Structure 1
């Protein structure tokens, strides 16, 4: 969780349209979702609910997070975009997490989880990023990865090599994701790639609320 993390006043601003016969008060459901995405384990989140006299299983809170289908806002217009990829493990399998961050605001713009990395996947990631945000005039900050450089060239985007400086914003995101997935064994243990991908989008939503 970011060092200056705090509960966002926007806790009541996302919908729970998936709720049908859930007996838990919606405010407590929203609080549970936000607490878990902000860094609290499922076990500790369940403990918070118990303070309010509500007993729920960890799997119930996990399902709330998944079904809420949270993801970062679209239509951003950053001047710079830091892009990188890193390895994420789902049990014994290796996946690649692609991420784009606005280094000025530290907001996560887009994430994508893939079983491998190559030029086609990198190009698809950039295409989805361009659909969600106004980034055609932005300067992309990349390292020496050939697939990312190829994707920038294919989409006609301005880019420059930068290993440190503003690219540190995306490294901070990766450090937090890896801390969460290594510390909370119930996050990506026995999880399908689709579930992990959804959790990462929800994480991005919470990250942007807390920075």
Structure 2
């Protein structure tokens, strides 16, 4: 598919139902959201918009991203699901990021940010994952993380410990999610965990549009 067609297709998937009295043309709002989620800083994003005659503050683009309420498409039915937990920092505080990925497509199925690493947090992540997707018959691929294995057991899900094989294909997804949150940590300055959680879901939406 030509790159321009794919870009236009991604833009069309961004819905702007929150817009009421916004002076910016919707197409440029969508472009700003997409550029930021694809890896550009807020400063670079507003610089590109400025070249089109759209002069907006970084905080404005930041608000567009969150108000758009983007998140991965629900209702997937994967054969395998790779799950992971990793540490990220937000406002100099340590948080735990939980991710679920379909190894067959490298689509992000669900993300969740938690302030602590506990069995209860992992359990809550699986509750939300099962509500969003049909994963009860999937095989879950986990590493040595005890909370993830415990959550699979509590939910009666089939899982196996795997550090290579199918997990290899999704490790880059996990690494990219962590890299993006590190790269854009300045976007989360003085932001709540809920705001960061929204940004991560928006990033997951955009990631799935690209691969």
Q: Structure 1 length as normaliser, TM-score?
A: 0.93
Q: Give the number of equivalent residue pairs.
A: 206
Asked whether 1:15 is paired with 2:15, we answer: yes
Mapped pair 1:83 → 2:83 = yes
Q: 1:62 & 1:138 partners in 2: Cα distance? A: 36
Deviates more, 1:157-166 or 1:171-180: 171-180
> In the alignment, which residue of structure 2 is the partner of 1:199?
199
1:70 counterpart residue number: 70
Worse overlay, 185-194 or 135-144: 185-194
2:140 and 2:185 mapped to 1: Cα distance?
34
Closer/same/farther in 2, CA of residues 60 and 83 from structure 1, 3 Å limit = same
Question: CA shift at 1:22, angstroms?
Answer: 0.8
Partner of 2:156: 156
Query: Displacement of 1:168 after TM fit?
Result: 2.9
Displacement of 1:14 in angstroms is: 2.5
What CA distance in whole angstroms lies between the structure 2 residues aligned with 1:93 and 1:57?
Answer: 27
What is the root-mean-square deviation in Å for CA atoms of aligned residues? Answer: 1.4
Map 1:133-152 to 2 at 5 A: 133-152=133-152
Instruction: State the shift of 1:70 in Å.
Output: 0.2
* CA drift at 1:8: 5.7
Q: Give the match for residue 119 of structure 2.
A: 119
1:8–1:135 distance in 2 versus 1, CA, 3 Å: farther
- Could you tell which deviates more after superposition, 200-209 or 11-20? 11-20
Q: Equivalent residue for 1:3?
A: none
CA distance in 2, matches of 1:38, 1:90: 20
- SS at the partner of 1:17? coil
| Distance (whole Å) between structure 2 residues aligned to residue 8 and residue 124 of structure 1 | 36
Is the CA contact (8 Å cut-off) linking 1:83 and 1:99 kept in structure 2? yes
Deviation per residue, 1:169-188 (Å, 9 max, x gap): 44322322232233334222
- Of 68-77 and 181-190, deviating more is 181-190
SS in structure 1 of the partner of residue 24 of structure 2: coil
Give the distance between the partners of 1:14 and 1:93, measured in 2 at CA: 31
**Aligned pairs for 1:15-54 within 5 A:** 15-54=15-54
- Change in 2 beyond 3 A, CA 1:116/1:63: same
2:178 maps to 178
Calculate the TM-score normalised by the size of structure 2: 0.93
